[in-house]
Amino acid sequence: MSMQKVTLALAWLLARGEDVIPIPGTKRRKYLEENAAAANIQLTGAEIQELEAAIPLNEIVGDRYNAGVEHY
């Protein structure tokens, strides 16, 4: 299966459960269509395991915002 990385990431988020709702942002219709395509992708259990093994959740750390970036 061939897709953009962001589409795969959104498909993975959607596979996490009905209580997870990704809110991607975009400025171009092309990217909106790529983002929407994630809703039509059904990842298998094996694919989810492969993704989660490649990037273990406990290794993703850091601040939400970079230093100097204002947030409200």
List the pLDDT tens digit at each of the 72 positions of the chain: 678 899 999 999 999 998 988 888 889 999 999 999 999 999 999 999 999 999 887 887 777 777 776 665
Tell me what pLDDT residue 40 has.
Answer: 95
Tell me what pLDDT residue 60 has.
Answer: 76
Tell me what pLDDT residue 35 has.
Answer: 93
Nearest to residue 41, comparing CAs of 19, 16, 10?
10
Residue pair 55/24 in contact (Cβ under 8 Å)? The answer is: no
Looking at the domain assignment, is residue 66 inside a domain? no
Looking at the domain assignment, is residue 64 inside a domain? no
Looking at the domain assignment, is residue 12 inside a domain? yes
Looking at the domain assignment, is residue 41 inside a domain? yes
How many domains does the chain divide into?
1
Q: How far apart are CA 30 and CA 64, in angstroms?
A: 27
Looking at the domain assignment, is residue 31 inside a domain? yes
